[in-house]
Amino acid sequence: MIKLKEIAVLAGVSQPVVSAVLNNTGGGIRVSEEKRRKIRVLADELGYVPNYAAQKLRGRQTPTIGIISDGFQNPMQTVLVSQLMRKFYKKGYFVLLSSNIDDENKQAQGHVAIRELLSRGLDGVILIGSYTQNMKKLLNLPCVILRNPHPEQHFDFNIDSETGTFLAVKHLFEHEHKKIIVLDSGIKYSGARKAFQEADLPMDYLKSFVTSGREEDKDVKDELLRLIHDENFTALVSSNDFIAGRIMSFLQSNGLRIPEDFALIGYNGSAFGRFTFPPLTTVVQPLKLMAEKAFELLLQRMGKNINGIEHCKAEMITPYLSYGGSCGCKAQVVNELINRPETFTLEK
Provide the binding-site residues for DNA, judged by CB under 7 A: 1, 3-5, 12-17, 19-20, 22-23, 25, 27-32, 35, 48, 50-51, 54-55, 57-60
Q: Distance of CA 143 to CAs 124, 136, 304, Å?
A: 5, 10, 12
Q: What is the DSSP string of 154-190?
A: --SEEE-HHHHHHHHHHHHHHTT--SEEES-SSHHHH
Does residue 7 interact with a copy of itself by CB under 8 A?
no
Give 279: exposed, middle or buried? Use CB within 10 Å, 0-12, 13-18, 19+.
buried
| Alpha-carbon dihedral angle through residues 329, 334, 338, 344, given to the nearest 10 degrees | -70
| Alpha-carbon dihedral angle through residues 11, 13, 14, 20, given to the nearest 10 degrees | -80
Nearest distance from residue 57's CB to a copy of itself, in Å?
A: 4
Q: Among 82, 153, 190, 208, indicate the residue that binds a copy of itself (CB under 8 A).
A: 82
Q: Among 86, 150, 226, 229, indicate the residue that binds a copy of itself (CB under 8 A).
A: 86
Give 342: exposed, middle or buried? Use CB within 10 Å, 0-12, 13-18, 19+.
exposed
Which does residue 20 touch among a copy of itself, DNA, none (CB within 5 to 8 A, set by kind)? DNA
Nearest distance from residue 158's CB to DNA, in Å?
A: 35
Does residue 336 interact with a copy of itself by CB under 8 A?
no
If the CB atoms of residues 40 and 170 are measured against a copy of itself, the closer one turns out to be: 40
Which stretch, 8-16, 170-178, 272-280, 315-323, contacts a copy of itself (CB under 8 A)? 272-280
If the CB atoms of residues 12 and 110 are measured against a copy of itself, the closer one turns out to be: 110
Which does residue 30 touch among DNA, a copy of itself, none (CB within 5 to 8 A, set by kind)? DNA
Q: How far apart are CA 314 and CA 201, in angstroms?
A: 32
Q: How far apart are CA 166 and CA 292, in angstroms?
A: 25
Q: How far apart are CA 229 and CA 317, in angstroms?
A: 37
Which does residue 149 touch among DNA, a copy of itself, none (CB within 5 to 8 A, set by kind)? none
Which residues in the 217-236 window bind a copy of itself by CB under 8 A?
none
Q: How far apart are CA 166 and CA 328, in angstroms?
A: 17
Does residue 312 interact with a copy of itself by CB under 8 A?
no
Q: Distance of CA 213 to CAs 181, 200, 270, Å?
A: 15, 31, 16
If the CB atoms of residues 125 and 195 are measured against a copy of itself, the closer one turns out to be: 125
Q: Count of CB atoms within 10 A of residue 321's CB?
A: 18
Q: Residue 8: left if φ>0, alpha if ψ -120 to 50, beta else—which one? A: alpha
Does residue 330 interact with a copy of itself by CB under 8 A?
no
Nearest distance from residue 107's CB to a copy of itself, in Å?
A: 15
If the CB atoms of residues 121 and 308 are measured against DNA, the closer one turns out to be: 121
Which residues in the 92-131 window bind a copy of itself by CB under 8 A?
94-99, 101-102, 112-113, 115-121
Nearest Cα to Cα of residue 195 among 158, 235, 144, 142: 235
If the CB atoms of residues 73 and 119 are measured against DNA, the closer one turns out to be: 119
Nearest distance from residue 77's CB to a copy of itself, in Å?
A: 9
Does residue 73 interact with a copy of itself by CB under 8 A?
yes
Q: How far apart are CA 269 and CA 281, in angstroms?
A: 8
Q: Among 250, 288, 292, 318, indicate the residue that binds a copy of itself (CB under 8 A).
A: 250
Nearest distance from residue 1's CB to DNA, in Å?
A: 7
